[in-house]
Amino acid sequence: MGELTAEMVEIDNAGELIDEIMDKYGQEILQLAFSYVKNKQVAEDLTQEIFVKCYKSLHTFSGKSQFRTWLWRIASNHCKDYLKSWYNKNVFATDYQPIYDSIQCDSVEERVIQDEVDGELATAVMELPVDYREVIYLFYFEELTIKEISSITEIKENTVKTRLKRAKELLKERLEAI
């Protein structure tokens, strides 16, 4: 399936369409949600809720932006709403489980070292304030452009650049302290 267009969204069988959307973007949305909430189960729940919102809002997709950008904006806003919610502020989860794989290494020693480095980096990224964590995740892990990040987060491109710069400075400080 290529990029969705407004005409494709008007297809009568929305059930098949949402299945395709979930297959294509499910893992990305799950990782995005995880980058906000730092909890695998909560991220999975939010991902389901995001796709329900997407399904209910398919008729509003006009094709003015790429479908992926439209979906990521829904996901980003839903995650931010969750972070502001009473539930998030008053109910505490106890586990931290990264949901991404580390880089493949040739030897056991390299694997152990790489896992430790990945863990330190992931921990440092997840400890950043959400505004910085959001742009770092979208830029480095999802490899989005500044313009795409600006569109998804609904902030100016210069603000994205500033947040990226500040996030890198904070990460550098934290990683040098380790």
Both tokens of 123, joined, read 């921990």
Contacts of 138 (CB under 8 A, 6+ apart): 32, 144, 148, 149, 152, 153
| One-letter amino acid for residue 43 of the chain | A
Q: Is the pLDDT of residue 31 over 50?
A: yes
Q: Can you state the percent helix, strand and coil of the chain, rounding each to 5?
A: 75, 0, 25
Rounded Cα distance between 115 and 113, Å, is 5
| Mean per-residue pLDDT over the chain, rounded | 79
Q: Among 43, 73, 55, which Cα is nearest to 18's? A: 55
pTM of the predicted structure, to 2 decimals: 0.61
Section 80-94 average pLDDT: 71
User: pLDDT (tens digit, 9 = 90+) per residue, 98-139?
Assistant: 544 444 445 666 665 666 666 677 778 888 888 898 888 888
User: pLDDT (tens digit, 9 = 90+) per residue, 44-65?
Assistant: 999 999 999 998 888 888 888 8
Contact 18, 54 (CB under 8 A): yes
